[in-house]
Amino acid sequence: MSMLYAARERRRPNVRYVRVDPRRSLSANQALVRLRYRFNDAQLDWITEKLAPMLGDDLLEPWAISKRLQVAMGIRYLCTNSHQIVVGDTLGCSQKTVSNIVGRVIEALNNPELVRQFIVFKPQCPEWCRRRANEFARIGKFISESWILT
């Protein structure tokens, strides 16, 4: 009988995210910016400048996320091996938003113009292959690089 008179449990309120801009919150401490994003503010600005044309213009809505913050989210997710929910909680947005932004940033990074500008691959050039094999052997501390070329 007491179950009939028990008060119903109230619904929990919806989660309200407060957007956090790392430039404002961490600008005084560049060591924290570098620790969290693997880049400093100037480098994040440079990367944002390179990726901005590929990210599209959707800043017409008041809730839209700036391109710099999108790049910061994408880099934070890719460089720190963090979960999307953690990145979202840190920067004040949902996991779904982080998922969409990471997809957009990865598409921008895979743009053929950027790939041509920063990635060089010449497998037909023997001198280029020999230099890469020597570098690989030096980094891996191998005795001989001859096995790498085969």
Task: Please report the pLDDT score of residue 76 as a whole number.
Answer: 85
Task: Please report the pLDDT score of residue 148 as a whole number.
Answer: 52
- C-alpha distance from residue 29 to each of 9, 24, 25, 67, 96 (Å): 44, 10, 9, 22, 29
Task: Please report the pLDDT score of residue 103 as a whole number.
Answer: 92
Show the low-confidence residues of the chain (pLDDT under 70): 1-9, 14-33, 36-37, 57-63, 142-150
Task: Please report the pLDDT score of residue 1 as a whole number.
Answer: 55
User: 145 with 133: CB under 8 angstroms?
Assistant: yes
What's the residue count for the chain?
Answer: 150
